[in-house]
Structure 1
Amino acid sequence: MNKKKKITIYDLAKKINYSPSTISRALNDDKSISKKAIKIIKEAAEEMGYRRNSLAASLRNSKSNTIGIMISRINRPFIASLISGVEDYARKEGYNVIISQSDDIYENEVNNAKVLFDTRISGLIVSLAMETKDFAHFQQFVDQRIPIVFVDRVPEEFNSYRVLIDNYSAGYKATKHLIEQGCRRIAHFAGAQHRNVYKDRMKGYLDALREYNLPIDKELIVKFKTLSFEEGYKAAKKVTSLDLVPDGLFSANDTAALGAIIYAKKHQIKIPEELAIIGFNDDPMASIVDPGLSTITHPAYQMGKISAQRVLNHTDEMYDNSVSEVTILNTDLIVRESSKKKG
């Protein structure tokens, strides 16, 4: 079977007797083209099945062959792997990458968005700052038909591509593992609950406790600002100072979990005998720390690669159809000595 021929601007020009440059401007709603001509050209384009690649169009409009990446903190192993996935795919396709970090501060993210927009990028990949609750700063990209892919930390009410993992099942899986190891009083180090990743991980944690008829103690749930090592260290001190101490801990990332391990070792709390710990992300330090940290895998590199593919394969018509495509990847449980009470 012959592959269907792709309709070009030159095919439209032959059909309706307008110059290719006029057709290009009309498809971009250029004010120099009459409304009548725009209507004729757009109707002909739809009838002939013309589909325009937004990145090619952006280059014709003097935008760069560059993808922007907005992330929280570049020094996090998960983010570094994510960026590598984006860069490897983008470079293979002949595109460059510009990286900006927000340090999890909303105002920084807004400023970074403006800088990247002014740089005339051809596409944007975003992992939201922890503080971000308003997404108006992304509308400028939508208005100019610049494709956006949100990855990992994604907005729930903003039509765009999303690439993420099943955080709910991952949180459930981590908590269930601790329960199966004999833990009955399990603490949780939680991230900001307006962020999808941390909200869903906590839901999984809570549902696992309910399923096994274990008590939900609010004193054992510590909500963090950034889930840093220092916060993990302080939170470990807090929960182990309670009258009823936890015998298990599920941390929403490995960084805070490592803080808990260091605190426990410094204060002669035996891991995992007295406190079994599991983290999230499978950062490199998880396999180096003693005892090794049990964790949940987070396919960062693959998420970055898929995000770059979505940007580069985007067409303008996808915005006309209110893009809300979601790609969800699976995770795996990695059991190390920090949680292995049995077997």
Structure 2
Amino acid sequence: MTERKKLTLKDIAKELGVSISTASRALKSHPDIAEETIRLVKEYAEKHHYVPNYLAVNFRKNKTFTIGLIVPELVHHFFSTVISGAIDEAKKQGYNILVSQSNDILADELTACQTMLGSSVDGLLISISNETMEGEHLNEFINEGRPIVQFDKITDQVKSPKVIVDDFEGAYQAVKHLIEMGYKKIAHMRGRLEVKNANDRCEGYQKALQDFGYGLNKEWVKNCVLINEKEGYDFAKELMESDNPPDAFFCITDLVAIGVMKYLKDHGFKIPSQVGVVGFSNWKLAEVVSPGLSSVEQHGYDMGKRATRLLIDLIKNHNLDSEETIQIKTKMIVRESSQMKGKNL
């Protein structure tokens, strides 16, 4: 056998004097196989660059052991942590993940879904785009016997399990924190009106103001569409140059909050002694900007793991009827950007 020939499971079994089934189970670290056999098989497979023929195995089992995963953005701290959690859980259970992004555009999401269907994934994990209002393209998976789990951004138009964070409570705690730090005029850079998690965060913002005796100033609530740094900068400029500027900002995401902070620093406002800022998602960037950005932790890695575990259970049990909702608690991460108003750091 030359090194150029593709190594098969049969080759490994013959070389080591074990059965093909023993070699297969050893590669999967099956508990019934002796540790020494597992070691020998894995070392030989690695040395000779063995690549499992998943296509043949899956054909026999009428499964691809592949899960589709569609997110709005790949280059996004929150979604990258979700993907990491999903991949780790899938790998643990013997599944692969096919990842795609919608760019927060419905047309791209439709294309990604068709690609997933064409690739015969066993099930789909999806955080819908900001433009997705209906779910016919998602129901196609269920109609073909392939379960779906929605996470983070979801639609009630699709009857499927969902894994979400408590956006309402996370926003409530963020605004409560700002009030406790002495801020009285808190603006909110919210997300799109048609997006559920954006509405939940806005409701949490409003409830905190109400509970602490602050009225809602609708002029201080700005609707972000692109949810980017430029919108944060532009809305901060509009509000801070108005006749009644706020003294704090609660933002739909950390990226919008970074835009707010950039405007404030460019125009000589001191953070946090004059203006406080809190974001949402707890990007890695929140730790390294100056001053550090307070933010609401969404636990993306845990979300990815739990959503994947739930989907694989549905696949194994052939369950297309579940509408279970798993809600993950958020955590307020306090950094310099929202410390006591009037305190010079």
- TM norm structure 1: 0.80
1:199 matches 2:189: no
| Offset, 1:63 | 4.4
Secondary structure of 1:163's partner?
strand
| Offset, 1:226 | 2.7
In the alignment, the residues of structure 2 paired with residue 270 and residue 60 of structure 1 have an alpha-carbon distance, to the nearest angstrom, of 65
In the alignment, the residues of structure 2 paired with residue 282 and residue 96 of structure 1 have an alpha-carbon distance, to the nearest angstrom, of 28
Give the RMSD, CA atoms, in angstroms: 1.5
Q: Tell me what 1:230 maps to.
A: 230
For 1:140, the aligned partner's letter is: E
In the alignment, the residues of structure 2 paired with residue 180 and residue 230 of structure 1 have an alpha-carbon distance, to the nearest angstrom, of 29
In the alignment, the residues of structure 2 paired with residue 221 and residue 80 of structure 1 have an alpha-carbon distance, to the nearest angstrom, of 29
1:153 matches 2:153: yes
Q: Tell me what 2:340 maps to.
A: 341
In the alignment, the residues of structure 2 paired with residue 76 and residue 231 of structure 1 have an alpha-carbon distance, to the nearest angstrom, of 17
Secondary structure of 2:285's partner?
helix
* C-alpha contact 2:164 2:303 (8 A) present in aligned 1: yes
1:166 matches 2:144: no
* Segment of structure 1 superposing worse, 238-247 or 58-67: 58-67
For 2:286, the aligned partner's letter is: A
For 2:305, the aligned partner's letter is: K
For 2:197, the aligned partner's letter is: V
Q: Tell me what 1:40 maps to.
A: none
* C-alpha contact 1:130 1:226 (8 A) present in aligned 2: no
| Offset, 1:156 | 2.2
* C-alpha contact 2:149 2:162 (8 A) present in aligned 1: yes
Q: Tell me what 2:271 maps to.
A: 271
Equivalent positions of 1:56-71 (< 5 A) are 62-71=62-71
| Offset, 1:87 | 0.4
| Offset, 1:316 | 5.3
Q: Tell me what 1:281 maps to.
A: 281
| Offset, 1:188 | 0.4
In the alignment, the residues of structure 1 paired with residue 309 and residue 226 of structure 2 have an alpha-carbon distance, to the nearest angstrom, of 29
Q: Tell me what 1:121 maps to.
A: 121
For 1:128, the aligned partner's letter is: I
* C-alpha contact 1:145 1:316 (8 A) present in aligned 2: no
Q: Tell me what 1:96 maps to.
A: 96
For 1:99, the aligned partner's letter is: V
Q: Tell me what 1:246 maps to.
A: 246
In the alignment, the residues of structure 2 paired with residue 298 and residue 195 of structure 1 have an alpha-carbon distance, to the nearest angstrom, of 17
* C-alpha contact 1:104 1:226 (8 A) present in aligned 2: no
Q: Tell me what 1:302 maps to.
A: 302
Alpha-carbon deviations, 1:104-143, whole Å to 9, x = none? 1111111111111111001100011111111110111001
* C-alpha contact 1:128 1:153 (8 A) present in aligned 2: yes
In the alignment, the residues of structure 2 paired with residue 93 and residue 333 of structure 1 have an alpha-carbon distance, to the nearest angstrom, of 32
| Offset, 1:62 | 4.5
Secondary structure of 1:236's partner?
helix
In the alignment, the residues of structure 2 paired with residue 194 and residue 335 of structure 1 have an alpha-carbon distance, to the nearest angstrom, of 29
* C-alpha contact 1:59 1:65 (8 A) present in aligned 2: no
Secondary structure of 1:174's partner?
helix
In the alignment, the residues of structure 2 paired with residue 272 and residue 166 of structure 1 have an alpha-carbon distance, to the nearest angstrom, of 27
- Structure 2 unaligned blocks of 5 or more: 1-57
Q: Tell me what 2:109 maps to.
A: 109
In the alignment, the residues of structure 2 paired with residue 126 and residue 63 of structure 1 have an alpha-carbon distance, to the nearest angstrom, of 20
For 1:341, the aligned partner's letter is: M
In the alignment, the residues of structure 1 paired with residue 334 and residue 233 of structure 2 have an alpha-carbon distance, to the nearest angstrom, of 22
In the alignment, the residues of structure 1 paired with residue 149 and residue 318 of structure 2 have an alpha-carbon distance, to the nearest angstrom, of 16
Secondary structure of 1:313's partner?
helix
Alpha-carbon deviations, 1:244-292, whole Å to 9, x = none? 0000110011110011111110110111122100001110010100000
Secondary structure of 2:113's partner?
helix
In the alignment, the residues of structure 2 paired with residue 93 and residue 337 of structure 1 have an alpha-carbon distance, to the nearest angstrom, of 41
* C-alpha contact 2:72 2:127 (8 A) present in aligned 1: yes
For 1:318, the aligned partner's letter is: N
In the alignment, the residues of structure 2 paired with residue 244 and residue 112 of structure 1 have an alpha-carbon distance, to the nearest angstrom, of 46
In the alignment, the residues of structure 2 paired with residue 104 and residue 173 of structure 1 have an alpha-carbon distance, to the nearest angstrom, of 27
Distance 1:263 1:59, change over 3 A: farther
Secondary structure of 2:336's partner?
coil
Q: Tell me what 1:137 maps to.
A: 137
Q: Tell me what 1:318 maps to.
A: 319
For 2:257, the aligned partner's letter is: A
Secondary structure of 2:184's partner?
coil
Q: Tell me what 1:211 maps to.
A: 211
For 2:319, the aligned partner's letter is: M
Q: Tell me what 1:327 maps to.
A: 326
In the alignment, the residues of structure 1 paired with residue 244 and residue 215 of structure 2 have an alpha-carbon distance, to the nearest angstrom, of 12
In the alignment, the residues of structure 2 paired with residue 263 and residue 291 of structure 1 have an alpha-carbon distance, to the nearest angstrom, of 13
In the alignment, the residues of structure 2 paired with residue 302 and residue 194 of structure 1 have an alpha-carbon distance, to the nearest angstrom, of 26
- How many residues are treated as equivalent by the alignment? 284
